[in-house]
Amino acid sequence: MSTWLKGISRGFFVGGLLLTGLTFGPRVYGILSDRMGTAFIQILTRPSTSFGDSLIQSGDKRPERAYQPAFNATLPTQNRLIIAEIGFDAPIGENVASEVEETLRAGAWRVGDFGTPYARKMPTILAAHRYGYLEWTNAYRREHSFYNLPKLKNGDRVEVIWNQRKYVYEITESAESEEITNYRADLILYTCKFLDSKTRVFKYATLVEV
């Protein structure tokens, strides 16, 4: 085959690959995203007793602290999670399990039946999508997903605006597993490691008195 014909054939082959990617790529991504979302939500919304059982089985006894940051009327009335280190800044949703997907599209979701920053007998558990949705812009994804959560290091700080009080936490531990392993943490952040994976990325943090 002549060099000219080889070039034409190669061009058609590459063009075909590009056309296939443009045609089916978004659909495949959407399917994977939906599967990831479904699996993620199934784990997030499993019966809270399973979390409670794990807490009891771990034998961890959480120390109770009276500290509360001062009320500040100038802070937003909407509860928010702010992680300056990775550019995350989004609301914390409190929707019931059946409406969790709506919450995750807007930002972080607090796992119900567990603690809040104000009531700390149990840890506050916040989750968010890792990859989000196809229609998200890069800027929106950076601010509203935990895509960069793995980049957080020990010593990095996280802010939670809760009922117009600013709670500051410091990352103390990181883990990749299928289950929460440290229930002594004041704050637990987690997300999926891959699109369709049972492995989760966990960040454990301790409340800092500021």
pLDDT tens across 32-91, in order?
444 445 555 555 544 444 555 655 555 556 666 789 999 999 999 999 999 999 999 999
How many Å apart are CA 139 and CA 167, to the nearest integer?
Answer: 25
Contact 83, 144 (CB under 8 A): no
Structure token digits, residue 33: 């995203």
Give the start-end residues of each E strand in the chain: 80-83, 88-93, 108-110, 124-127, 157-162, 165-177, 187-192, 200-208
CATH number of 3-208: 2.40.260.10
User: Quick one: pLDDT at residue 158?
Assistant: 98
Report the 10 Å Cβ neighbour count for 96: 9
**Residue 8 corresponds to which amino acid?**
I
- Domain ranges in the chain are 3-208
pTM for the structure as a whole: 0.76
Q: Report the candidate in 27, 13, 144 with the shortest Cα–Cα distance to residue 87.
A: 144
User: Quick one: pLDDT at residue 98?
Assistant: 67
How many Å apart are CA 11 and CA 208, to the nearest integer?
Answer: 60
User: Quick one: pLDDT at residue 15?
Assistant: 46
How many Å apart are CA 95 and CA 142, to the nearest integer?
Answer: 22
Query: Virtual CA dihedral for 158, 160, 164, 167, nearest 10 degrees?
Result: -60
- What distances in angstroms separate CA 135 from CA 31, 80, 87, 132, 191, one per listed residue? 13, 23, 19, 9, 20
**pLDDT in single tens digits along all 210 residues of the chain:** 555 545 445 544 444 444 444 444 444 344 344 444 555 555 554 444 455 565 555 555 666 678 999 999 999 999 999 999 999 999 999 876 667 888 889 999 998 888 999 999 899 999 999 888 888 999 999 999 999 999 999 999 999 999 999 999 999 999 998 888 888 999 999 998 887 778 899 999 999 998
Contact 200, 150 (CB under 8 A): no
Q: In this structure, what are the phi and psi dihedrals at residue 132, rounded to the nearest 5 degrees? A: 75, -140
What's the N-to-C CA distance of the chain in angstroms? 75
The alpha carbon of residue 123 and the mean position of all alpha carbons in its chain are separated, in whole angstroms, by: 16
